[in-house]
Structure 1
């Protein structure tokens, strides 16, 4: 079925084992993706039981914060200590956090437990994709990335249904407990069937690098998540957090230059493909996150459709994305990696221009077309980007480069929401009319369009396909 590419520490895995490993990875990715959708369904019941209405936004925010911080840490640990051990630790922390969330007796407790759960979730995507990069060759990676992209669509569709069932029939606490059996299956399959022996040698952990990185990005994310809502952007707290973030980032870079085994080797940022795909991920994921927030507002508050219609509006993008990912995974080595990413970026630009052209009386069907276009574009951008990043380094750095890509995408989402929200709030009052809401959202759409065009310019910097293939063969 497959031929493994030769890297320094890759070893062949029997074909029957690969299927079980993939099944375990899919299960792990599913609970991570499910958690992003199912928790929102139970929001009213959590507030009713635990109170703390003013704190509830942090149930989501703290999860995002700790996931972002943990992602590069687990990526590096996977390179140092092997995928299997780090995968087991990460999913173990995720399950422990899930159990504690289900047993929470206060909103404050739930927030702390979500922080732990989010930290464990930081291992799921980077380590899963790193293992895929280990056990599949370049062409097969593309196909598998398409399969794994489908997990998010399935979770997006099932999340509200599963959450609604548990809330109505059992308790909101079961939206967390359901993670336990699925995670147990995932760990069992990966631990038993993944065979990657690790050389027994002393490992040096970059503690100070990890500490300064954590402080820097925690300060940045807290400022982005709190600025403009809990605190004004020009408040001393927010300004101080941004300043602290910069200081600790500079300290982190200073440490990484001198560390024998840095958490994020700065040498990887000399790889052109990695720099371009990371910047593209930052830009494009900010657009998709903005769409998931502002498209329902337009549908419900501007067009006057029901909450159900507004909630389902993102579904065309959710379905088109994995469809395009599967197609891109099969075609990227025929049409070229760069051609695939440029084509996808062009679709995102077309969809963004259509967004800007929307009028207050534009029909609902326009939205379906826009979101299908952008979903298809993202499929052609995200899958080839992930595959090619894994292909330009060897086993020793594959976890780090995967984690850096995930981190930049998450930062794009967080910074995008903060910037879009600030623009929107400047144009819309609490009781804005449909025309005022449309005007405010249009400003956001214009920025999304500018970001999409910037991304199309950035991806032109990718090397030609034959250069990418040469790098892959030498990795």
Structure 2
């Protein structure tokens, strides 16, 4: 039997991860042009939410299927589905169509990212994994930096459709590399598929995530819709837990959560998902609306996190070998707390350099922790459970980001409404829109401008205070990780 060509498989895996990761940022640049062309601005946010929703829902299922059938067939299915969705997104004639095609795209992406990471865990030893997973983590940073630029160039030159179509040749190359050069052990025995668990998990997560995304936006938090979604989610997830404890080969083997490394790494990933979304969603608003900086400067402050992340991810591989998972994760947790403190202390007069520094420090924390968690989780389980264990970590971070969107959005809106309640001018949440462009600010009375900026600054400070709480929780949870002295050599 031929052996795996590791360099070519690694290159293919990194390309696949880049395609999946860049999709989250490249579309943001194109959305104004898409909305102008297709209409349906009220559904703007669902172009992002649809992708995140299906990605989060399917990631655990694909992770388990890759343990049953092997990495190659599930990876191939996921990337083909992703590419079909990409093709259809570029052909969309309405915002409703685009949202449906983004669901398909997200369903495919749910397989691409976790299985690509799992493949690396399979073909490299524990010592090698520490370095290689740092490279994979850096893909996220590179995609975040290059995505908006690539999207802007494509929209300006050939049209927004190519924001989706650029994925196709890259995805085909990644697929060909994995199919041709990855050699897997043959699967023996008849596979046992947990269909009931997959259906219940999908129903429960779709209900929960739809509630988190649309609650307070599409319907009131206190409403019949909220009650129905909570009831469906709780019922489906309760039945899922019951089924998983009885079935022969469960989608989510709960025994992996008894491993302290997996339990605490995943809990920290949940809280860091909230931190991540608080920076990426609200920092540009602060820099543009409160500091009165142009969009390019706001983008620069966010890019600083994407620079810190790959630097720390690459460094994390070396630290893991020398100091071990616990101390590397602890250092990452300290950077997260330091970055969150910088955000809490940020004031408008500090300028964009303070915002960029805060973002960079958070990126350092994310890079150190994410790499340490993936390597430690993959070292804690056998080949047969590595797919679902890796997927569980990505699922928890995605879930954290989705919870963060709902929680932090509520904090921001509630803070602003309370601030406006003391005014007799009849301001509402839409009044903040006037702060976000130079033209609208120029035509505004100085007193009104100052009042709105003070309100937005105060509300975002509350958001960052909540983020800081989760940073401290992350640091405390890291102390639950087992102590170790460094990655042992030649561990498979």
1:174 and 2:162 are equivalent in the alignment: yes
State how far apart, in whole Å, the 2-side matches of 1:225 and 1:119 are: 17
The 2-side partners of 1:232 and 1:312 are apart by 35
Within 5 Å, give how 1:315-394 maps onto structure 2: 315-394=303-382
What are the ranges of 5 or more consecutive residues in structure 1 without an aligned counterpart?
1-10
Q: CA deviation at 1:200?
A: 3.8
Partner of 1:456: 475
Per-residue deviation, 1:262: 0.5
Pairwise mapping of residues 19-38 of structure 1 onto structure 2 (< 5 A)? 19-38=7-26
Q: 1:405, 1:370 → 2: CA distance?
A: 25
* Alignment partner, residue 464 of structure 2: 445
Question: 1:298: which partner in 2?
Answer: 286
Q: Partners of 1:471 and 1:64 in 2: how far apart?
A: 37
| CA distance in 2: counterparts of 1:159 and 1:373, whole angstroms | 21
Q: What is residue 398 of structure 1 aligned with on the other side? A: 386
Partner of 2:420: none
* Alpha-carbon separation, structure 2, partners of 1:445 and 1:113: 34
Write out the 4+ residue segments of structure 1 that deviate beyond 4 Å after TM superposition: 468-473
1:411-459 Cα offsets, whole Å, 9 max, x none, are 0111012101100000114225111001101111111111111111111
Q: Are 1:314 and 2:314 an aligned pair?
A: no
Q: What residue in structure 2 maps to residue 156 of structure 1? A: 144
CA distance in 2, matches of 1:421, 1:285: 15
Match of 1:245 in 2: 233
Could you tell me which of 167, 173, 188 is aligned with 1:185? 173
The 3 A distance-change label for structure 1 pair 162 and 364 is: closer
In structure 2, do the counterparts of structure 1 residues 311 and 437 end up closer, same or farther at CA, with 3 Å as the change threshold?
Answer: same
1:33-432 to 2 correspondences below 5 Å? 33-428=21-416, 429-430=428-429, 431-432=431-432
Give the TM-score, by structure 2 length: 0.91
Q: Matched residues in 2 for 1:377 and 1:56: separation?
A: 31
RMSD: 1.7
Deviation at 1:110, TM superposition (A): 1.1
Tell me: CA distance 1:274–1:471, structure 2 relative to 1, closer, same or farther (3 Å): farther
Q: CA deviation at 1:12?
A: 9.1
2:191 counterpart SS class? coil
Superposition TM-score, scaled by structure 1 size: 0.94
How many residues were matched structurally? 461
Change in CA separation of 1:240 and 1:335 when aligned onto 2, cut-off 3 Å:
same
1:129 Cα deviation from its structure 2 partner: 0.7
Q: Name stretches of at least 5 consecutive residues in structure 2 with no aligned partner.
A: 417-427, 433-451
Cα deviation 1:334-362 (Å, max 9, x = unaligned): 11210110111011111111221222322
